[in-house]
Structure 1
Amino acid sequence: MEDVPQLPGYSFRDYNLQDFKLNPKCSYLNGHRFIKDSWCGVGKRPIDVMSSAYSPENPEAVDYDPSLTYGRSKGYPKRQVIPHYVLFAQKCLNFKAFFRQSVYNSPSEHHRIRHVNIIYFLEDDTLCVIEPPVDNSGFQQGKLVRRGKIPKNQDNDVYHWKDLNVGINIEIYGVTYHTVDCDAFTREFLLSQGIDIGDKEDPPPDAYTQDRLSKLSITKTIKKNTNSNAEDSRRKFLEYDGMVLTFNSTWNDDYYQILYFLTDDTISIKESPIIKNGKDPCKLLLKKTRVPKNWNDLPDSYPRIYLERSDEEVVEYYSPSDFKIGETIFIFGRRFLLLDCDQFTRKYYCNMLGLEQPEKIQYNTENIKNGICQGIATNNKNNICNFKKSRNTNKEDVIRKLYNHQKKLRYKISMAAVHPDDIDREFIMEYSLGDGTIKINEIGKKNSGRIGGCFLSSMLVPKKNIKIDNCDEEIPIYYTPNDFLIGSNINIFNHHFLINDADEFVHHYVENNKDKFTPELVKNIQDYFTNKKYKIIQDNKNDNKIQDDNKITKNNIVIEPIVHPYPQGRLPKGKICSQCDDINNERRKITWSDQVQVPCTLTSG
């Protein structure tokens, strides 16, 4: 293709070439303009001129191009220029120094020795002075001189790393710092730059700091010596690790386990996992901590309002010798009666302390039973005793719940007023036939000061002071519809209510299920709703009689209530009756006088 002349129709385009930019000839270098040789043409394609750079002066003698075999000649590699701030980035020279600060009006000292670090940053030739923190020094510590270029004379010449060395005085803003040492990097850097480094010096000690540290060390030594080897926490950890004294106790009719850890003499209290009384679980009553015997025994001068008590204020903590079955211990104001302990605890007291723990105490406080009376039945003693025997295998009556789903008996009750604020408080009581729970909602009234809503959430409500014969224990008997007679009083958690009314559904349910209720309740419901219907009929008759008696004729005068002052439509202008003047009914407004009875005399036709 190279022998084909460059004529239209004889040339072929290379579609892989997409760049047709011209290579610039003029450029800038270090602020000077120059012309650079072009080694490529349009689209950075090599030109034929570069291949003839190695040919002799006579272009006709070009027979062989050495660059095709040996490649183009390359110049010497140029050294990479690294800026100063990149070369010395995050590289610092650290010098240890001190300065003397005068102390006035002090009989114990005249000056204070303060040790500082002078840090020089090589990347921007800045310097700062930082004082290491010292406990209870009484001076402002930290960064004494902020980072910046520090002048060294009146000619505003700044400090350079060549001006720094060990054993010289450096004056910074009127304060003279004496350098005594430097770190390894600083020493290596200065030696590499040909600077001789002075010998290391010992900084003078601060008399005040040394005196305070000596007093503190004496106090720690005395405190360390007072602790005997018998009370060493490490020895107790190795000897008693994993050993716990367990006591069963009771507080507030609930059962708990008191755990005494012999490793660090701490006490933890958690709920007993065996006893299940139906309450919300409380896994941990007291976390692991040391318990004082008398936690209120503090001196009168102790600021207990804002300061927590520490080990120094507590006189005595509980020890294993203070726990004995049958006795009561006070833990942060709560009285715990110790009932029993495990076998390991008994062996520990017998072998280690030489004490015999008493036998287990039989403490019976089963006030809450697991039994739930299912169904609507009479409260006879035989059923209760039989239920008592099978209360441990109690299961939910699913058939009853499905059959009576969403069936509720509603009653209107009022609270027996013990306080004047409870007068005229009315409620709606709902009895769920599915599970026997009771829910009470208060009826809201205007200007009563109370917001209506839930008074008692849905729950089983037990009766008060129900004693059962022929049974060893008392069984809670819950309220059933047999107890809800109209006009009777019920006690719900020491709140007395009077049943005033019942829903119509109660009447229909009792009539259709008479076998589930007592005859007394059936008769009470029937009599109440019969009287209620009779009263409604009498009220309707009285209303009709009042409407019939609205027209009363006396001396040819009829008294009628004016419902509408004028009939619909426009009346002609004139007299309505013989004793009424002309009334123009156009654009007339109805006033309060239009609602009174107007006597009118009828005229004969």
Structure 2
Amino acid sequence: MALSMAKSTSLPGLWKMGTEKPRGSTGNLKKATLAFSVGGNLDSALDRKKGPAPTKQTRELAGLLQTAGWRMVHTEQPSEPPPAEEDVLPSNMRQPRDAPAWLKHDKQVLRFYGFFQETVTERPDENARYRHVSIMFHMEDGTMSMNEPKVENSGIAQGSFLKRQKVWRADGLAYIGPDDLRVGSEITIFGRTIHISGCDRFTRWIFEQNGISLPPEEPMVEDEWHKTYKLRKIIEKGQKPLTKAQVEAKNLAKFMSGAPHVDMKFTQFALNERKVLRFKAFWDDHTPYGARMYFIIHYFLADNTVEINMAQCRNSGRDAYPMFMKRGQLSKTTQVLAVPGLLAAEGQIYYPQDFRVGASINVWGRKLVIYDCDDATQKFYKEYLDIDQRKGCIDVSEKPVTHLKLTPAPHNGVGREEDSLINCQMIQPKPPKVDLERLMLYHGEILRFECKMMNGEPEDELRRLVIAYYLADDEVAVFEVPVRNSGHMGGRFSEKRRMKNPDTGEYFKIGDLFVGQTVTIASQPLRITRADEHCLQYLEAHPDEFPYASPVACARRLLPLATDPEVQDERGIEPERLKELAAKAGVSLIDHELVTLLRHFGVPPESEDQQPRIIGPHALQCAG
């Protein structure tokens, strides 16, 4: 039916079905612009479908159409070229391959030196003068400029001789360039012929880089005016003194004109203006309520006057007026003229040679001792008077004041010494601070040492006592062990408190108690014979505080006995014998060190009659 409809030509609008809006009764009709028609016979289009079967490659290409962007994915991308130097450098740093002159020769100037001759009229001493100029050629734009150095009192307006501009050559064919400027040649600029006599090093280097060799420098020409000008400047600076004839001629001219003779005071003022010698001095005022006072002396070389100022310290209690003597001539002797206006004798004032460091000067009846001067004054005396002022310097520094510290009153024996000291330091005493950390760390730690009395009394030989040392607060207590038929009751011998060691004058420390030591407690000499196991273990665990309990330290003391055959015996040596050998070698062993050696390097006795022995080789091996 579709074919019959396509062949029919009686329905012209049939092909627009589905592409146009149906006509309704609304009247708002809008003609569709989308329309199509088949331009040919439909049978021919169907016949074209009958062709060869698609190949595998055709199917693969048709399958790629299902993926979006298949053309970009399956197309080989061209490789990017490596970045060029222009891509890396910023745009403001790029330079073209053929740089223009204004960029290639930026701030490069060729400098030539030359001179030209100018006529001088109405002068009896000269008829011409050479004027020296500097020619600068700017390579960036081909412009030129000339400057003439200024000479003082030359009578000619000098400075900028030619402003920067392009200058035509004398023939008018082109502008002046580097080829027209050569050392030893002449060039005409605006009607003036200038002879080029030299150039600077940069200009010569530029020409050498371009294969051009410039002639050597020519000496600078001088006219009569330049020679006279140089000589006059040398004389003005004092580099060349005037001749005797010139000096006499000048003096004769002054006398003929009525000028006075040379004023020596004015000459001294002109040569020594603002030159001041500075000294430091002191004056010991021996009057009642007097003291040592320090001064600064200024000696003015311009007119031989002296000024003295007081060097007061801060909060000195004196008036804040440092002037002691106003500026004026200082007389050596104090004198009063009988008649006002009477002339005084000359030579009675102080001069620079009268001021010596270490000496004294008289200032209106006061003796001022000069003890130092500054560096400029020292240099002046060394250079002009050949005097070394540093040799006489006096040390005026005051000795430091030592304040005696009041010691607290001695303890009266009532209560603890710390409580009495607090009463001396505070009006409202507070209890002394307790080391809580030490108290909590060593609470309950007690070191016990057994001892016996050594007072020589027969009834006290059998008495045995125990010294208890409390680590928490460094307190010491002594208890007596009950002994049968001793005649003494056991119990507390000395109460627990901090005791002072009579031998050292300080409180008892753990280092004062060891086996073999004799201590005085309650006015009784007590010799420590042994310590309990807990005490020995604690002391061995803290060898830095108690070196007698360190086995290594005790073994090192036996090194002088290393070659003794008894010490080298593998069976050991008795402690008493070891102590005797050590005493002969100059080593004093105490009983606690023998106990330490027995505990670490000893062997038990084989029978009750024998004593424990110390293995010497083991101890020496530990020491090594």
Fold conserved (TM > 0.5)? no
**Alignment TM-score, normalising by the size of structure 1:** 0.33
Larger radius of gyration: 2
Structure with the largest fraction of helix: 2
**Alignment TM-score, normalising by the size of structure 2:** 0.32
